[in-house]
Structure 1
Amino acid sequence: MPLDQTGIARFAERHLMPDRVEITRGSWEDMLDPETGDLVPAPPLLVYADSAGLYAHQERIRGKGSRDGAWVEEVRPGYRMLLPLAAPEVQEDDSVLVVEARDEQAVGRTYRVAALGEVSSFPVLRTVWLEEHNRKAVS
């Protein structure tokens, strides 16, 4: 009996994506401000505004970090964002704003999409890798 993909996807959305995010994309184009006559950056395009799950992920990186050629190991914080399959594809450098979260300290934080979303032969959710961009304290 084959696995029911849609049932697993519904379970993942209900239990692994408790937060709400907004994903925006810059257009990298300027537009004319009719009041001033100046060229100003176009407002970002809202790509997605709905449920997601944010999960911390530490990445160990080894590289030559000193002049004597010694290998240095560092740990970089990263994040995984889980999205429903129906979410549109995100692109590198898209911005993610946490609008609502179970963890109140996450609200207001912004992230940058660091890599294209992962794909799978048995898709039940989308996984996107993020880098923290801004950590604002919410008052």
Structure 2
Amino acid sequence: MLDQSAIARFAERHLMSDRVQIRRGNGEDMLDPETGDLVPARPLIVYDDKGGLYAHQERIRGTGSGQDGAWVEEVRAGYRLLLPLDAPEVCEDDTVLVMEARDSQAVGRTYRVTAQGEVSSFPVLRTVWLEEHNRRPGAQ
């Protein structure tokens, strides 16, 4: 029988070499009592620890804009984020910020969570699907 915890430890050690921060915010403004101005609310940090970011190609099919109704296929970059099993549940529209990574070009990039994390009958890690959002100003 497979040792689920040993596989999970292996995945964490070899597939999750980056540090990511997952933020949750409602996008609403709040009143700054000192200035009386509306300012963006600070997001709630729900996770700040190891993760692994992996690219994949996402295929999208949709109807064309013409009268012939032809299907148009688009290929765009998508990403999956691997997290340990004990990471908190990630929600759609959470933001993932890469804090540290083996690939220096990944540091500072942000991603939007596009779906709730996957679940499995034999869980060894969490998989979350992302789309690239943007790069933090000044990130290299």
Length-normalised TM-score, structure 2: 0.92
Measured at CA, do residues 29 and 60 of structure 1 come closer, stay the same or move farther in structure 2, by a change above 3 Å?
closer
Q: Does 1:17 align with 2:16?
A: yes
Counterpart of 1:74? 74
Q: How many residues align?
A: 138
Structure 1 range deviating more: 114-123 or 22-31: 22-31
Counterpart of 1:52? 51
**Secondary structure of residue in 2 paired with 1:40:** strand
Looking at structure 2, the residues matched to 135 and 30 of structure 1 have their Cα atoms a distance apart, in angstroms, of 22
1:8-58 Cα distance to aligned partner (Å, 9 max, x none): 000000000010011100034443312112343320000100000000010
- Displacement of 1:69: 1.2
The question of whether the paired residues in 2 share the 8 Å contact of 1:27 and 1:45 is answered with no
Counterpart of 1:126? 126
Measured at CA, do residues 138 and 38 of structure 1 come closer, stay the same or move farther in structure 2, by a change above 3 Å?
closer
Counterpart of 2:100? 100
The question of whether the paired residues in 2 share the 8 Å contact of 1:92 and 1:115 is answered with yes
**Secondary structure of residue in 1 paired with 2:114:** strand
- Letter in structure 1 aligned against 2:99: V
- Letter in structure 1 aligned against 2:133: H
Length-normalised TM-score, structure 1: 0.92
Counterpart of 2:115? 115
1:50-105 Cα distance to aligned partner (Å, 9 max, x none): 00000001012222123121111110210000000010001011001101111111
Structure 1 range deviating more: 11-20 or 39-48: 39-48
Moved over 6 A (4+): none
